[in-house]
Structure 1
Amino acid sequence: MPRPRLARAGRVLTALNTAALYVAGFFLVLMTVIVFWQVFTRYVLGWSNSWTEITAVLLMSWFIFLGAAVGIRENYHLGFDVLLYILPKGSKKVLRTISDAVVIAFAAGMVFYGAQLVGLQWRARLPALGIPEGIRYLPLVGGGVLILLFSLERVVLRLSGTDVDKDINIEDVPDLDAVKEA
């Protein structure tokens, strides 16, 4: 892929990443408001809404999967990197590419099997909301698509020679005594 295409794809994926981050944040806030409303109506007013719990769970599913995708793109997920620090530089690229390939396979499974769940449950209805039951599984598909795209981007960038792997430089880690004094 020529560099201009790579840059254009990067801009599109950056926009997707930013949108996913903002949507996840908005859904987190909205879920918090809904849960507050549920608690308020149940314990203060003495009645409850049938729609609040399922809506909060749906919103939580979306912000979890969107947040996971953003974590993949921005390289914020936890990893077991001890081995990478003692291996030669070239092997780090290979091992991280293998790791991304595993994530791509997992994301493809999320999309494939999530789409099957959506299809299997689409005719049933969520009684509290009156919407298709398959909507419960759309976050699995949406998050899987983003994780797939972002992981594939990491592999393509790495193969093009771009450094996408953030290593902790031991010189950048603050001294514990200096942190205590501050």
Structure 2
Amino acid sequence: MQDGLKVLARLFGVLARITLYISGTCLILMTAVVAAQVFMRYVIGSSIVWSEPLAVQFMGWFILLGAAVGTREGYHLSFDVLLMFLPQGVVRFLHSVSDLVVGAFGAGMFWFGLELARRTWSSKMPTLGLPDGTNFLPLVLGGLLVVLFSGERLLRRAAGMQTARFGEDMVED
């Protein structure tokens, strides 16, 4: 089982790294679009009509994909003071409950994001010409990744293996 989890950890490590690169690229692109809009508006005196909706699109991607990687790395919000005083078995149990709750939240993101995308797909954003449903695609993909990464954390904990630390693929050789 641990060999299979090592392969899974490597695959999810690659997936997390790709996701983080996409997230970072979207942050850079959003910054560039906003900078271009500021330059055009205050220096040239003319606005770019598509800058705000495009910047919001990029923002959704970098926030929700980054949050999914944060789930894998264990950076979601937590209150750890109590955990310092509890036995290790109880701490592992509470971490598993946390991963289950985060995974359920990710499932909700996926399910309801998919429903929002489906219901708004037929209308178009006037400035970009894209379906309105594209606004919810980061929610769908981010939710799916949260579910996958939470499941990976649960499997690894059940097998007695370490969970993520930033920048590691969680593989013991």
TM-score, normalised relative to structure 2 = 0.92
| Residue 5 (structure 1) shift | 2.0
Alignment of 1:81-160 (within 5 A): 81-160=80-159
Question: Could you list the runs of 5+ residues in structure 2 that have no partner in the other structure?
Answer: 166-173
Which 4+ stretches in 1 moved above 3 angstroms? none
| Residue matched to 1:20 | 19
Contact 2:73 2:164 in 1 (8 A): no
Alignment-mate amino acid for residue 14 of structure 1: G
Whether 2:75 is the aligned partner of 1:76: answer yes
Distance (Å, rounded) in 2 between the aligned partners of 1:135 and 1:165: 31
**Structure 2 residue matching 1:129: 3-state secondary structure:** coil
Rg (Cα) greater in structure: 1
CA distance in 2, matches of 1:32, 1:92: 40
Q: Secondary structure at the match of 2:5?
A: helix
C-alpha contact 2:117 2:133 (8 A) present in aligned 1: yes
- Cα distance change on mapping 1:165 and 1:126 into 2, 3 Å: closer
| Identity fraction in percent | 47
1:165 CA displacement: 7.0
> Is it true that 1:51 corresponds to 2:50 in the alignment?
yes
State the 1:78 CA deviation. Answer: 3.1
SS of 1:71's partner is helix
Q: TM-score, normalised by structure 1?
A: 0.88
Higher relative contact order (CA 8 A, sep 6+): 2
Extract unaligned runs of 5+ from structure 1.
Answer: 167-182
Q: Distance in 1 between matches of 2:77 and 2:164?
A: 13
Aligned length: 165
